[in-house]
Structure 1
Amino acid sequence: MTSKIKNSLLQNTIKSSKNNDMSKKRIITAAIILVAIVAIALIFKEEVSSEPKGIYTVRSGSFEEVIKCKGEINSADVVEIKIPKTLDDYTLRVWSYRIMDIVDEGKEVKKGDFIAQLDQSQLTTRMREVTQDLERLTADLKNAVIDSTVILTQLREEIKDAQLDLEYNKIDLEQSVFESEAYQRKVQMNYQKAEIGIENKKRNYQLEINKRKVGIKRLENYVEDRKESVAKIQKAIAACRITSPDNGIVMLAKSPFEGKKYKRNDNCHPFMPVLAVLPNLDQANSEVYVKEIDISKVAVGDSARVSFDALEGVTLKGKVVWIASMGEDHKDFDMKVFKVLIRLEETDPGLKPAMTSNSEIIVSNLENVLSVPVRSVFSGDSGKFVWLKQGSKLVQQPVTTGPENEESIVITQGIQEGDRIATEAPAVM
């Protein structure tokens, strides 16, 4: 019994030892498999980290080089609303007018509707001065006419008296033939003296007539001038109320000194008379500013596309019609800019003056060229290059570039159609 029990225990011990050996082998095998999986995962991760986020396949096609710029819609054909010519008269002695009231910009008006009211106070003061002057001169003219009548009447009476004295002297002369020679000589001299006196009086009378005529004429001219001034001032006062010359939408002009659009209490000037305009948007321009680094690419006649923030889905064709010959500073740019006018060749019912426009000037249009995303071209010490995919690797491939826009750039040398390039530089090399 005892030997059987011992044998049984020995066999169980051997089996348990074998089972333990098999368990260890399984654990070791599982560990080896786990290590292999981790190693493969690390290798895969490294390979993935070496891959770029995106790959672009190079294709041939058309390419547009465009210059994008924001602008504002203005009419190419406008009706100007000006300060009336009546107010541009130096005799009024008013050099500027305060705007007491003015219509709101963007308001639709009809012919004859109110546009602006200018201050009349300076004209009223001038009217009072001229009227007082006119009354004084009119009184002076009446007095001059009366004085002239009195003086000339007296002179005519003196001539008549002198002519009567001459008659008496003539009688004495005729009777002196019976007197001595000395008496005859005396009478003859008196007669001659009376003749000379009459001639003098006639001459003085004529001179007084001319003098009085000149004086009265001068006063008449002064009076007439003041009357004309009164009439001009009356017209000017009436002209201070400015109305619309036609139907349209009002766009206010800018003050030549402040550079801001006119508003109430601003001063306007007859020598720069435009207060507002009525644009005709059947012929509209997109007024844009192009940076000086791009202006050499733009030419009159270039095509353009114009869209609008306020008109979703509306894009109109246009053409460059004018380029400024001199650059200027602009608050929205950090360099000189040139003003460019794009004439819209189409219109839309929703188009409004001063509407913000987004213009794309097409400066070149190429066919059958290779273009890639701008972000896929990099710069190095030796020039520009792309990351070209060759098998599982990415290699630097030098390229020669051509025109570009905000999204794409033309490649003239270095790659071929069908090549695959990375759109971003690989993180690990």
Structure 2
Amino acid sequence: MNKKKIAYAIGAVVLLILAYSFFNTTSEENAPITTNVVKGVFLDEVIISGEAQSTSSKKINGPINARRFNIYQIKIQDLVAEGTVVKKGGYIGKLDASEVNGKINDAMLNLESAQSRYTQKQLDTTLTLKEERNKIKDLLFNIEKDEIELSQSTYEPPATIKQLEINIEKTKRDLKEKKENYSIKKRKATAEMVQVATEVSKIKKRIEELKNLQKEFTIHSEEAGMVTYIKDWSGNKKKVGSTISPWEPAIASLPDLTQMESKTYSNEVDIRKIKKELPVVVGFDAFPEIELSGIVTNVANVGENKQGSDVKLFQVLIKLNETNENIRPGMTTSNKILTHKEEDVLMMPLEAVFAKDSISFAYVKSGYSIEKKQIELGTSNNEVVIIKNGLKENETVFLSKPEGLDDKSITLLK
């Protein structure tokens, strides 16, 4: 009997312990979460992602004189991989030269035709002038013959002598006229030859220029560096199959890796906080261990619509104060822009702030009870808010609303 009583007593104690443990655990699980008011340094940061780029880069251009030959759209046929390190004079890429090749072929045909016209004109001129020279020789021969006949006609009748003199005079006039005509025809033939020769020379020069242009369709680097692709007007990177024009002749660039910046875009809410000269900590997704200091150098005054969105975004440029050999243009950056800083201030999480009738208050633990205290708030960030008045350091505040305190009055500030 005594053993049974002892067993019952032990069982009752165990049940009481289990019940206490269950209800205590349930109570702890349902208990509101609390935290303490702390004193420290308040930081308000705008965190936005961006893209690394060089502030100074040398563009690698295709043919800039193509417009002179009515070539306006040139397709990129080959291009080295982005990030390739090249030496001075190293191969960069090749452009589709089919259009310039066609113009060279057309010019060669025009040259053959012009040279043929030049040869024909040369032969015609030679024959024409030869005929004129022969006519002049005939006239000279006739004059010489008449003068001999005149010298032998001393005893001829005066009429005969007069007729010979008239013939000689007439032939001399004809000779003078022939010589003048010959001179005119010779000058005309010379001008025509010069004209045809000039046409041949112009076509030869055009062919030479086209061949020089053709050489420019194979692109080489003017400096040593790392090749990076550039973007066209629509924001897409130029690559094999893209086109360039005389107005946008660049196919790639060689950035100066010692002068880097982060280009990012801020929304309409955060842009109000961002000013020039604000300090920035720039991180890199590719290298989480690298963080470089920077400074805001430019804040756009006018927003722009990003492709596929109606949201207005404002461009922000951040200059890096340091360099790192691992950083490359195009890498994704994480930019922490410090917009506000206060030291030695009281802070608590935003979740601990409640409001009623425009009065901000907090649920504060006071011994075994809970008090609703009015608080005066200062600047806040995405996590905490500065407490100007109403709380003290290390006071415990509730992050969620405790039950059963709806009717409790708020202790107002004095």
So what's the TM-score if we normalise by structure 2?
A: 0.78
Q: Could you say which residue in structure 2 is the equivalent of 1:62?
A: 41
Q: Could you say which residue in structure 2 is the equivalent of 1:387?
A: 362
Q: Could you say which residue in structure 2 is the equivalent of 1:208?
A: 185
CA 1:214–1:370: 2 relative to 1, 3 Å:
farther
Q: Could you say which residue in structure 1 is the equivalent of 2:201?
A: 224
Report the Cα offset of residue 138 of structure 1.
1.1
- Asked if residue 286 in structure 1 is aligned to residue 257 in structure 2, the reply is no
- Asked if residue 374 in structure 1 is aligned to residue 350 in structure 2, the reply is yes
In the aligned structure 2, how far is the partner of 1:349 from the partner of 1:361?
23
Q: Rg: which structure is higher?
A: 1
CA 1:243–1:425: 2 relative to 1, 3 Å:
farther
Q: Could you say which residue in structure 1 is the equivalent of 2:50?
A: 71
Report the Cα offset of residue 113 of structure 1.
3.1
What amino acid does structure 2 have at the position aligned with 1:267?
A: T
Q: How does 1:299-338 map to 2 (within 5 A)?
A: 299-331=275-307, 335-338=311-314
The counterpart of 1:147, out of the listed 113, 121, 124, is: 124
CA 1:114–1:379: 2 relative to 1, 3 Å:
farther
CA contact (8 A) 1:137 1:223 kept: yes
Q: Could you say which residue in structure 1 is the equivalent of 2:212?
A: 235
Q: Which moved more, 1:283-292 or 1:415-424?
A: 415-424
In the aligned structure 2, how far is the partner of 1:101 from the partner of 1:232?
23
Give 1 or 2: higher helix fraction. Answer: 1
CA contact (8 A) 1:387 1:425 kept: no
CA 1:247–1:163: 2 relative to 1, 3 Å:
same
SS in 1 for 2:121: helix
What amino acid does structure 2 have at the position aligned with 1:297?
A: K
Q: Deviations over 1:264-290 (max 9, x none)?
A: 222222331111122222111111111
Report the Cα offset of residue 342 of structure 1.
0.8
SS in 1 for 2:351: helix
What amino acid does structure 2 have at the position aligned with 1:386?
A: F
Report the Cα offset of residue 130 of structure 1.
0.8
SS in 2 for 1:426: coil
Q: Deviations over 1:81-116 (max 9, x none)?
A: 22143xx33343322222222212223333333321
CA contact (8 A) 2:41 2:342 kept: yes
The aligned length equals 382
The counterpart of 1:119, out of the listed 96, 112, 137, is: 96
CA 1:120–1:226: 2 relative to 1, 3 Å:
same
Structure 1 unaligned spans of 5+: 1-29
Report the Cα offset of residue 331 of structure 1.
4.5
Report the Cα offset of residue 388 of structure 1.
4.5
In the aligned structure 2, how far is the partner of 1:199 from the partner of 1:342?
90
CA contact (8 A) 1:401 1:413 kept: no
In the aligned structure 2, how far is the partner of 1:190 from the partner of 1:292?
109
CA contact (8 A) 2:77 2:241 kept: yes
CA 1:200–1:325: 2 relative to 1, 3 Å:
farther
In the aligned structure 2, how far is the partner of 1:145 from the partner of 1:48?
112
In the aligned structure 1, how far is the partner of 2:149 from the partner of 2:343?
128
Q: Deviations over 1:206-265 (max 9, x none)?
A: 332332233222222221121122222222333222223333332112233x53222322
So what's the TM-score if we normalise by structure 1?
A: 0.75
SS in 2 for 1:364: strand
CA 1:296–1:206: 2 relative to 1, 3 Å:
farther
- Asked if residue 397 in structure 1 is aligned to residue 374 in structure 2, the reply is yes
Structure 2 unaligned spans of 5+: 1-11, 406-414
Q: Give the fraction of aligned pairs with identical amino acids, expressed as a percent.
A: 28
Report the Cα offset of residue 167 of structure 1.
7.0
